[in-house]
Structure 1
């Protein structure tokens, strides 16, 4: 199968209701992402966009349904209002975010 037809992520029957809420913010969502696809998520305020992204990124595990990534694929997630360590510089924070990739490159270059 060519890469452009490869499903790298799928979500099946995902629903999410917050505690003390009568209505689910997500209800029975099915979607798939193909390799190389460009994805946009649009919706009104409070419609579940951030909740959907947190589930995709693995930040929220309290939902019903199935979320599956193909082996070797993962998601990075930056919150709308990230909590940053005031004792670190911007460069330090960026380096933390790419540390895994830098380590792989360092190992390769040995």
Structure 2
């Protein structure tokens, strides 16, 4: 059997992504699904009022909101993103997230193969 490229999720089964991660009071919870040179996928559950501080990444980051809502600030411009919506945070551009209400999202970061993903706090 070959190594699974996507981990922490049962293969060949139907899943509701939001059901795979639980909220933790006053915390940010995450589950890494894959972390490869050119792509990373992580599920997050973020409690109301919590978030991710302003940072930038070496790849384009796509946030698919699964439930709840979040204020996402990209290059100083804040937007509210709700369940069922998706937004792209461009590579090298500062962005941050703050939970308007508890929310869950799938983060997919796609980067150039010669650049390793690094979270860079501002």
- Give the TM-score normalised by the residue count of structure 1: 0.27
- Give the TM-score normalised by the residue count of structure 2: 0.25
* Greater length-normalized contact order (CA 8 Å, ≥ 6 residues apart): 2
More helix, by proportion: 1
Answer with 1 or 2: which has the greater Rg: 1
